[in-house]
Amino acid sequence: MTLNLHGIQDFLAEHELDGWLLADFHGRNEVAIRLLGIKGMLTRRMFYFIPAVGEPTALVNPIEADKFKHLPGDVLPCLGYKMLESELTRILAGKDRIAMEYSPLGRLPYVAMVDAGTIDLVRQSGVEIVSSADLVAAFQAALSAEQIATHRMAAHNLIEIKDDTFKFIADAVSSGKTITEYDVVQFVLQKFDEDDITTDHSPICAVDSHGGDPHYEPAATGSAFIKRGQLIVLDIWAKLKREGSIFGDITWMAYTGTREEIPAKYTNLFSVLAKARDGAVGFIRENIDKRPVHGWEVDDVCRLFITAAGHGDRFIHRTGHSITDSTHGSGPNIDNLETEDQRRLAKGHLFSIEPGIYYPEFGLRTEIDVLIGHEGAEVTTLPLQTAITPLL
């Protein structure tokens, strides 16, 4: 990723900010490391200041100065903390408002990458610190056309693998072959290899009560056997095996029986989830070209459907998450439960919409990916699941 200096400076000027101060120690600020394209081990404190006008300045330890030579602006080696703090005060002189990876009250921990002591140090210079959340969303989470293309390929592969996996389960159950949730996960991972895609964590296959745990992880020992008359959650996510490629992420529901055998309570609950999911997408489509649309309000819209149906206390996670080259990306999340995401959804943002209802005996979830493109909000993981898939 090339640092878009002119774009960042235009953003800073438009939002009346005097600069963006990127601070890190030991690679803890993932936003800064990824944005600056720092490679290899980083073990000392550093600052990289992008002013609204003028050239950036990097304040770095002499040992690691070479890691910053590819960046625009001056690289100033600072020998010791006294020089580092003195030079920081100098480059911030006359500045009033700057952005950092900071979140007031910790409401958005995804960008709260700078420790409180460093925030105190910077404030001693007399500047007001605001969150860089909107900068991160604009310059790290907005996907390029090439990245979107890799997402579409991953999404296409995932839909096909979902179909293959349901057939694998159906064939096993029909023939009386013994398989477990873990066996299904291994089948999915094999398909990933065949399609030359990869993932960061193992997929989820959850049967009956295990589906009541949104992050259930089937293990080689202790996984449930899959037999007739069971509800199955299949959650799979992957990306192409190439640098900068973007994840796809889907969840589908199945039942190891005929359509007529699916219990009415499952059918009814899935209908609630589908309405909530489609209602959230409809809200985005209706408003995205008219006014700013934020992650928190889309979460509220989706959650209202489930609450109105009497299951609000069983929807125990956010509606969706940002998707980039990480499964959980640095862009706006669809969230007003776990965090208050006030970031605006904008062109190039990709995210999931995945409402769920969870009880101790079972759980249901539906998950799609949505892209904000030039034509508004697009569901990139079609077809939509409109009902639980019968496998027999």
Reading the chain (392 residues) residue by residue, the pLDDT tens digits are 579 999 999 999 999 999 999 999 999 999 999 999 998 889 999 999 999 999 999 999 999 999 999 999 999 999 999 999 999 999 999 999 999 999 999 999 989 999 999 999 999 999 999 999 999 999 999 999 999 999 999 999 999 999 999 999 999 999 999 999 999 999 999 999 999 999 999 999 999 999 999 999 999 999 999 999 999 999 999 999 999 999 999 999 999 999 999 999 999 999 999 999 999 999 999 999 999 999 999 999 999 999 999 999 999 999 999 999 999 999 999 999 999 999 999 999 999 999 999 999 999 999 999 999 999 999 999 999 999 999 99
CA-derived radius of gyration, the chain: 23
Measured in residues, the chain has a length of: 392
Which structural domains are found in the chain, ordered by start?
5-139 (3.40.350.10), 145-390 (3.90.230.10)
Q: Which two tokens stand for residue 163?
A: 């179909």
Angle between helical axes of 116-123 and 81-92 (0-180°, round to 10) = 50
Please spell the DSSP secondary structure of 55-89, one letter per residue: --EEEE-GGGGGGGTTSSSEEEE--SHHHHHHHHH
pLDDT for 41 equals 86
pLDDT for 40 equals 87
Summary count for the chain: helices (H), strands (E): 9, 18
pTM of structure: 0.94
Round to whole Å and give the CA distance between 104 and 85. 24
Taking a C-beta distance cutoff of 8 angstroms, is the pair 234, 162 a contact? yes
pLDDT for 1 equals 59
Taking CB atoms within 8 Å and a gap of at least 24, the contacts of 373-377 are 373/148, 373/347, 373/348, 374/347, 376/284, 376/285, 376/288, 376/289, 377/281, 377/284, 377/285, 377/288
- Report residue 348 CA to chain centroid gap: 13
Please, what is the Cα angle at 109 between 292 and 115, to 5 degrees?
130
pLDDT for 184 equals 98
